[in-house]
Amino acid sequence: MAMLKIFQYVATTAGGSDNVDPTMMGVNAQRKAYTCKQKENQSNAEYLQAFMQLSRTARFCDYPMGASLSRLVKKKTGKSDPTLAELKAVEEKIVEKEMAMVFILGADKKQYGSYCPGQ
């Protein structure tokens, strides 16, 4: 699994870097997923493909989208210490919602600015 993480990271960082600390590799992978932006003249399909690859890399490095999961779980369940069943019920929806939000915020503002309030 460790080799898979390294290969995923190198594949999405155009060559990677030497002697990367595993924690920093995960942090960098997550940062790249959160800061992914649609390039001018890049199609939605191309942007989605790049975004999903970066998101998968962050997940393989054990730094997935959903870093704010505990805050969102509390908001959705109304509890700071929900049961496992309650966590399972909201986890997937929360991660998908956060990924959608990050994807939309990274979209080309010239084309999709009206979808990004305050941008």
The whole domain housing 33 covers: 2-115
Give the whole-angstrom CA distance, residue 111 versus residue 66. Answer: 27
Give 10-residue mean pLDDT values along the chain (119 residues): 63 56 77 89 92 86 67 70 78 80 81 61
* Number of domains, the chain: 1
Which residue do the tokens 């997923």 mark?
33
| HEC per residue, 20-77 | CCHHHHHHHHHHHHHCCCCCCCCCHHHHHHHHHHHHHHHHHCCCCCCCCHHHHHHHHH
Give the whole-angstrom CA distance, residue 28 versus residue 33. Answer: 9
Residue pair 33/65 in contact (Cβ under 8 Å)? The answer is yes
Q: For residue 33, what pLDDT is reported?
A: 87
CA 31 to chain centre: 8
Start-to-end C-alpha separation, the chain: 39
Q: For residue 4, what pLDDT is reported?
A: 67
Q: For residue 43, what pLDDT is reported?
A: 92
